[in-house]
Structure 1
Amino acid sequence: MRSLEKHTRSNHAPRESLTCAGCDNFFPYREQFHDHVNEASVREECRERAIFCAKGVKQCKLAFSSEHAYRIHVTCCHSETNPFACAVPGCGKSFGHRSALNSHKWTHSAPQDDLVCERCGKTFKLQSGLRDHIKSVHLSREEGAARFTCDICGKGLIDKSKLARHRKIHIDPADAPHLCTLCGKRFRLNEYLNIHMRSHDPDRQEKYPQYMRKKKSKDAGVRMGVAGAKIGRPVVVKKVGTTTGDQNLGKLD
C-alpha cells in the first residue's frame, strides 16, 4: 500500500538508499525520483542506474534509486502476502486489510451523491471520511472531550498523533534531527526539510505549487512562512505627523 511504503521510506530507509546514484540528490518520495529520472534534462547516468518496477498486471514502471527502495515498494505494493485482492479485471491491486480494499473499490464505482456534514456543510465521498471528520473536527472540540496533554508545556491535543508532532517543537534547534546536507540548516520535522530542499532546486517549485512560499503582501503587513503560516510580529504602522522631537517634548512636559 502506498501509505505503508511512504511510512517505511520516511522512517526506516537509510538516506543513501533514497539518493540518486547518478547525481547524489536526495528524493524522500518515490514520485520525486520517478519525475527526476523522466525529465528531459536528466543525466544519462541517473536513468541508467535507476531500477524500474515491472510488477503487477499492468506493469508499474515506477523508478527507484536503489535496490533497497525497490524492495520496499515491491513488499508494500506487490507482495503476495496482501490477501485482499481487487476483483475488477485488469486492476491487479491487493491490500493487507479489508478496509483498505473497501475504500479502493470506490475508485471503480460510478459517481454518487456527496455525503454532507450537517455541522459545517463539508462534503465527502466515503462514509468513513465523514465519520472521521465529525470525530476529529467536531466531537473532539466539544467541552469535556478527551485531550492528550504535552508533559512539557501542558497543551492539550485531540489525538496521539498530533501530540507526537507537537512534542517536536520543543526540540532545541541545534539538536533538530533533520539536516540539510547542502547548507547545514536543521529542521525539527522531516516535511520541513523536504520543503526546504526545493529552495536548492528552483526548477521543481513549479511542480509543487502548494508548497511554495506565499509572496509577501505590502498592503496586508503580514509575513508568510512555509505553507502559508503567519510568522513574526505584525508590521508597525507609524503615526503620520509624529516626530521624535514632538515625543521628547511631550515627555518633558
Structure 2
Amino acid sequence: MTLSDAQEKMCSESSWDFSDLTALFLNCTLKKSPERSHTQGLIDISTAIMEKNGIATECLRPVDHDIATGVWPDMTQHGWDNDEWPAIAEKVMAADILVVGTSIWLGEKTSICTQLIERLYSSSGDLNAHGQYAYYGRVGGCLITGNEDGAKHCAMNILYSLQHIGYVIPPQADAAWLGEAGPGPSYLDPGSGGPENDFTNRNTTFMTWNLMHMARMIKNAGGIPPHGNQRSQWDAGCRSDFPNPEHR
C-alpha cells in the first residue's frame, strides 16, 4: 500500500517509539482468500502506517478458518468436531492493538464479524496476572466498507462490544468508506474514488495514530492500574452451575 504524502510526512516526523507494539487485524469479509476484499484495501492503509512506525502487524480472515459457532473458548468441548478459534485467540491475546474490519450487509456487520465478537466474548471472564479481566491493557478499533448506509451503526456495535469485554477505545477509533447506495463500484473498484477519498483517508489515519498512541501510553504505564477493577477481589455472586457463559 502506497501512503499519501501527508501520511508519509506524519510517519517521518514522528518522535515516538512504537517498535515493541504488535497489532492484529481481523478482516471479517465474507470472501475467502485470495479473493479480493475491499475491506482489506482500507486495512492496508492502517497496517502500512503502523509498519512504518515499527509495529509488527498481522492480518487474517476468520472466514479462512474452521471456527465453530458458540460462546465458549473451545467449542470442541461442547459438541463440535473442530474449532480453530483457540489458535486465533492466542494471537488476539498477544496483540496490543486489535482492529476489526467488516463490510456491511443489510445495514449490519457481517455474520463472520458477529461470530468473531461472540468468540471474543467467550474469554471475557478470564483474568490476567493482576486479577483483572484478560483483555485489559489492549486497545481496539474498527474499519468498515460498503455500498449502503450502516457504517456508524456497525462501528457502535463493534466498539461497544470491544470496550465491554475490556478493550480501551481511543478517540475516533473507527473509519469507513461508503460508496453510492445500491449497485455500483466498491472501494477498490476502478472509478470508485475510495482510495482517494480525503474523508476516509483522514479518519483511517487518525484512527491508526490514536490506536498507536493509546497503546503506547498504556504499555508505558504498565497496563490499566489494578485498583477498583479486580474481579479476583470482588465477590460477583456467580454460580458455577449456571449454564449461561456470562462470566462477567
Normalising by structure 1, what TM-score? Answer: 0.20
Larger relative contact order, structure 1 or 2 (CA cutoff 8 Å, min sep 6): 2
Structure with bigger gyration radius: 1
- Return the TM-score normalized by structure 2: 0.20
